[in-house]
Amino acid sequence: MKFFLDTADLAEIEEAASWGAIAGVTTNPTLYARTGGKLSDFHNHIKRICEIVDGPVSAESVAMQRDEIVRDGLELADIADNVVVKVPTMVEGLAATHELARRGVPVNMTLCFSVPQALLAARAGARYVSPFIGRFDDISEDGLDQVSNIVGALSQYDFSDATVHGERIEVIAASVRSAHHVTQCALMGADIATVPFGVLKKMVQHPLTDRGLESFMKDWEKVQGA
């Protein structure tokens, strides 16, 4: 399993990249707004992320019509070679994804909540599909179950004919809220988990590691005093 960092915060991205932990970054309009960035700085900000991370960086189109999404997507793809255009899973998004894929632009279909949506994303030529866990849990559904179903359904078929990249569509487990979500996604075979920095930090932690470290340090003090 690969990990992407789900943030637009440059300090978080630099720190996580220094751990060798992340293979890419995903952003969305909310995450960019959280940085306090302006619209005029958006492309520069994505460029900066692409310089820090040597892997796919998802930047989302906020257009609603297929032609505008394609125009947006082509501009975003021009920022750097590792930009992936994030497009919502809706009719206009599918049409735009199909056109962007035809032009060789990798697309991450986002806001995916069902197997049929994921199958259509794959057929349209998406390079990635992002089922959301936490937001599904928020409405008393089972987000992890949905990821498992999507991983299972996509693995039944070869969609390589649908993408100009000829690569298998990869599932990005998104809206990840806990290390438990990551564990379950890894067990069900999701290709990637995109995690907020807070979750990435929790993934490193274990109380027995802390307790073990504390006792090693105490015993080492005894050695030094001997």
Ligand X SMILES: O=C[C@H](O)COP(=O)(O)O
- Binders of ligand X among residues 132 to 151 (CB under 6 A) are 132, 134-135
Terminal CA-to-CA distance of the chain, rounded, Å? 46
- Comparison of 146 and 162: residue with beta carbon closer to ligand X: 146
Could you say which of 86, 201, 218, 222 is catalytic?
Answer: 86
Nearer Cβ to ligand X, position 163 or 175?
175
Q: For ligand X, give the closer residue by CB, 6 or 99.
A: 6
DSSP string spanning 150-186?
Answer: HHHHHTTS--GGG-TT-PPPEEEEBS--SHHHHHHHH
Would residue 86 show up in a list of annotated catalytic residues for this protein?
A: yes
Q: How far is Cα 150 from Cα 153, in angstroms, rounded to an integer?
A: 5
Compute the least distance from the CB of residue 217 to ligand X, in Å: 36
What are the C-alpha distances in Å from 195 to residues 10, 39, 71, 83, 106? Answer: 15, 24, 29, 18, 21
Candidates 5, 8, 9, 28: give the one binding ligand X (CB under 6 A): 28
Q: Give the H or E element holding residue 87.
A: strand 83-88
| Interface pattern 169-198 for ligand X (x via CB under 6 A) | -----xx------------------x----
**55: helix, coil or strand?**
coil
List residues binding ligand X (CB under 6 A). 6, 28, 110, 132, 134-135, 174-175, 194
Residues classed as catalytic: 86
